[in-house]
Structure 1
Amino acid sequence: MSDFVFEQLGLTSRETKLYQTLLKLGPTSIRDIASHSGINRGSAYESLKELQAKGVVSYFPKGKRRFFMAESPEILLNLAQERKQRLEKTIETLKHTVIPDLIQSQPKLHHTDVRYYEGDDGIEWVLRDILNVVSQQDHKEYCVFSSKPIRPYLYRPFPTYTKQRVKLGINVKVIALGDGGEDAELSQRKWIKTEGAVDASYIAIYPPKCAIISLARENFPSAVVLESNDIAKAQQIIFDTLWRLL
């Protein structure tokens, strides 16, 4: 029988061994319990008291001695249910009281969290982050600056990205640098005409974050994600201003 299950119920390995021993022996004196379990009498007695407090073991007097007996194994399910209820209450307290209080106690520093990602796995993480962040906002929309050379590499690791975005009801505004780009559902697009080729670049503004994706040598994609309300708001103002002018 797995000790892990008993550990999850709050029983130590010694308590588990004593409980299993009592189940096999039936009502038993402390001397016989110690003998059959291989645990010395002093330690066995202390653990039996703990088991009694947990409701797993009971005792009755017989002459001048105490005889201990294990409760029915169904009691273990009761222990599990009680621990589950306590954990659920703890989670609710964390969500609604403890975590908000801890956040309030933090100094209001205007810092920028910067993270770097590389390769197809990194780009997929960034794209999924955009969907996760925007889908939780009341106004489900983000903005993008995008150039044609980046597009073949952008959705390569996540070909169903647009379908997932539409499914989540997320709108996107795109300012395309140079030619290209396809119309898609829940998408608006405007263009900045350029002379000559443009470099591969993609900037997504999804407050409180901005993601910058580019290509390194041999078309190796990399990304930087900045988490800063101040930076995201400044980028949003730039985008909105330019959008109105186009």
Structure 2
Amino acid sequence: MKEALRNLGLTDGEISVYLALLKLGTVTNSPIAKESQLQSSTVYYCLNSLVKKGFATYILKGNRKHFSAVDPEVIPEILDEKQKQLDLQKKEIQQIVKTLHQYKRSSEEQTTAEVFEGFRGFQMIFRSILKQSRRGDYYEAFAYEQKTTESPAIKLLFMQHNQKLKRKGVKLRLLAPLSMKNVLLNIYGKQFLQNFQEIRYTQTVIPVGITLFKDTVITHIPENEKIISIKVKNHKLATMYRDYFNFVWKSTED
């Protein structure tokens, strides 16, 4: 029974006072405190709360309040009133949902930027892509023209990254300068390139490496034997880069 009353929104103190009222009838504060074994100040607080919630009423006799419990038969009506209030609150929430979504989109569309230096930062970026990606996701990348050799660490990183992408079901499209076709063949070997997801070569000049993943654009700049990666999260920027990528992709050879 007490659990049912709790579900109606009553506290344990209010339940004790309400049950005492049902037993005692119309009484003042003191008999209720004795019956419920609660302090007088607690009883007074609970009585006022029960009145507000519709579970008790009072009359004035002289200068003193005499309280009584509402008939239990009225409780379903209290529930109906609570349901009406809930329905009203639901309508109010539904009316502001669109506004709340606008706040959410505004937060999501905020631009953030990070700078990563060296191989460790370069590695963190590709680990982050793997961690955030789900089967069926895809991303694009521009490869910049580079020397005929690759550091063993970067070579291993790319080979392992491509394998993990394929196992996870994430698609990758790579655009590389036409001049890099033989260079990549010498560095990675024919078998690796044949197993690469999708790679095409373009005569378009690509001065820096660019990775496009969801709403993020990552620019990779080689500088003094190390890589500086600038990661910018901005939906509009990512869309513009992706549109350009698709334009170049359609005009290239595989």
| TM-score using structure 2 length | 0.50
Distance 2:88 2:113 in 1: 35
1:228 is matched with which residue?
234
The CA deviation at 1:92 is 1.7
Conservation of the 8 A alpha-carbon contact between 1:143 and 1:205 = yes
Quote the residue 1:53 is aligned against.
Answer: 52
Counterpart-to-counterpart distance in 2, 1:202 and 1:60: 78
Relative distance call for 1:59 and 1:174 in structure 2 (3 A) is same
Summarize the alignment of residues 178-189 of structure 1 with structure 2, pairs less than 5 Å apart: 178-181=193-196
Contact 2:200/2:249 (<8 A) preserved: no
Secondary structure of 1:39's match? coil
CA pair 232-211 structure 1, distance change in 2 beyond 3 A: closer
CA distance in 1, matches of 2:124, 2:71: 57
Question: What is the DSSP-based 3-state SS (H/G/I as helix, E as strand, rest coil) of the residue aligned with 2:195?
Answer: coil
Question: What are the equivalent positions in structure 2 for 1:197-216 lying under 5 Å apart?
Answer: 203-206=211-214, 209-210=215-216
1:14 paired residue number: 13
Name the counterpart of 2:162: 151
Alignment CA distance shift 1:38-1:93 (3 Å):
farther
Whether 1:36 aligns to 2:35 is: yes
- Determine the structure 2 residue equivalent to 1:192: 200
Question: What CA distance in whole angstroms lies between the structure 2 residues aligned with 1:21 and 1:15?
Answer: 10
Q: Which runs of 4+ in 1 moved over 6 A?
A: 60-65, 101-104, 116-119
CA contact (8 A) 1:179 1:193 kept: no
The structure in which a higher percent of residues are helix is 2
Residue in 1 aligned with 2:205?
none
What is the TM-score normalised by the length of structure 1? Answer: 0.51
Q: Give the distance between the partners of 1:125 and 1:11, measured in 2 at CA.
A: 47
Deviation at 1:225, TM superposition (A): 7.4
1:87-128 CA distance string (max 9 Å, x none): 423432431346647988x9xx973266x9979x96565124
Match of 1:151, SS state, is: helix
Instruction: Report deviation, 1:239.
Output: 1.0
Q: Kindly indicate whether residue 83 of structure 2 is the aligned counterpart of residue 81 of structure 1.
A: yes
Could you tell me how far apart the structure 2 residues matched to 1:17 and 1:57 are?
13
1:68 aligns with 2:68: yes
Alignment gaps of 5+ in structure 1: 132-141, 163-171, 183-189, 195-200, 213-223
SS at match of 2:133: helix
1:219 corresponding residue in structure 2? none
Which residue identity is paired with 1:229?
A: H
The answer for unaligned runs of 5 or more in structure 2 is: 115-120, 143-157, 177-192, 203-208, 219-229
> What's the offset of the Cα at 1:232?
0.6
Asked if the contact 1:148/1:180 (under 8 Å) is kept, the reply is: no
Aligned length: 194
Give the alignment's Cα RMSD to 1 decimal.
Answer: 5.3
- Which is higher, the Rg of structure 1 or of structure 2? 2
1:55 Cα shift? 1.4
Q: Percent identity?
A: 20
